[in-house]
Amino acid sequence: MTTLRLGTRKSLMATTQSRRVADELERRTGVTVELVGVTTEGDVSRAHLTQMGGTGVFVSALRDRLLAGEVDFAVHSLKDLPTAPAEGITLAAVHRRDDPRDALCGPAKLADLPPGARVGTGSPRRVAQLRALRGDLKVVPIRGNADTRLRKITDGELDAVVLAYAGLGRIGRLDAVAEVLDPEQMLPAPGQGALAIECRSDRADLVELLRTVDDPATRAAVTAERTVLAVLEAGCSAPVGAYATVEDSADAEPSLYLTACVAGIDGARQVRLSASGRPERAEEIGRELAARLLAQGADQLMGERDIEPR
């Protein structure tokens, strides 16, 4: 195993984050990694993500290449990964997470935007939480890469856009950030800021090799977050936010803290709950918290999908 083929989307952000994983894998194991660009449905369709089904539109083509043996492993933004297992494919590693928070890009902080400001996002989760914070905002659905979205501000189409802080950092566009939104204001998407590394399940030697870049704390945190999503039977196009951290203590064993919310798309109603426990119980903690969310009516809020401007 001297050269490995890493399947990646062709966008700047995707190739940058894939190169980061490749460089670390090369450094830790001595193997050579070459990037193989793959075009996905999400890259070619101009339809809104919710119209295409949301979860999986950036993933399926890469998985097809894996199963066909055309690439050895693939790197995805974990928030794009469906929660249901894929036959013949395993999540071999979860790379160390970057800052998972959302960022408001534009000339002013959220509180300082003028009444009725036009804010762009393609995420129902962000729409719901934005409206909860500022009910006067006109939220506009947008698509495209980060630079395309940011250009809508300079062109005067929008007053601001909301993007993932981690992604902006990876492409060197933190200069566009006016405010990093604290999870108390806006819970990120489950898995946001983390990278998923997949390969075929029958490649035991490769699974072992890829685990050298696995980060156990990140894996525990995102497992809890994604379990909430799975139990709710929701995808990345649902108004669900979840954020978990694993905290070490000198005089106690590590603890996992999880907060999740489901918000109505109008921003008027939301269910937000927290839980904690040992990191090795991450899946159980996520499952229990999701059950509590459902018991408080979260399933009714998830049925709302309209993110057209008001």
Q: Is 109 a catalytic residue?
A: no
CA atoms within a 13 Å half-sphere pointing along the CA-CB vector of 310: 16
Catalytic residue selected from 20, 65, 143, 269: 143
Grouping H, G, I as helix, E, B as strand and the rest as coil, residue 208 is helix
Cβ–Cβ < 8 Å for 239, 302: yes
Catalytic residue selected from 9, 63, 72, 79: 79
- How far apart CA 78 and CA 95 sit, in angstroms, is 9
Catalytic residue selected from 101, 149, 200, 226: 149
Q: Is 79 a catalytic residue?
A: yes
Q: Is 236 a catalytic residue?
A: yes
- How far apart CA 257 and CA 272 sit, in angstroms, is 14
Calculate the alpha carbon distances from 101 to 98, 117, 118, 119, 287 in Å.
9, 22, 21, 17, 23
Catalytic residue selected from 80, 98, 102, 159: 80
Q: Is 20 a catalytic residue?
A: no
Q: Is 80 a catalytic residue?
A: yes
Catalytic residue selected from 126, 152, 203, 226: 126
Write the CB contacts of 143 (distance below 8 Å, at least 6 apart in sequence): 46, 48, 49, 122
Neighbours of 238 (CB within 10 A): 28
Catalytic residue selected from 63, 97, 170, 236: 236
Catalytic residue selected from 125, 170, 203, 226: 125
Which residues are identified as catalytic? 79-80, 125-126, 143, 149, 236
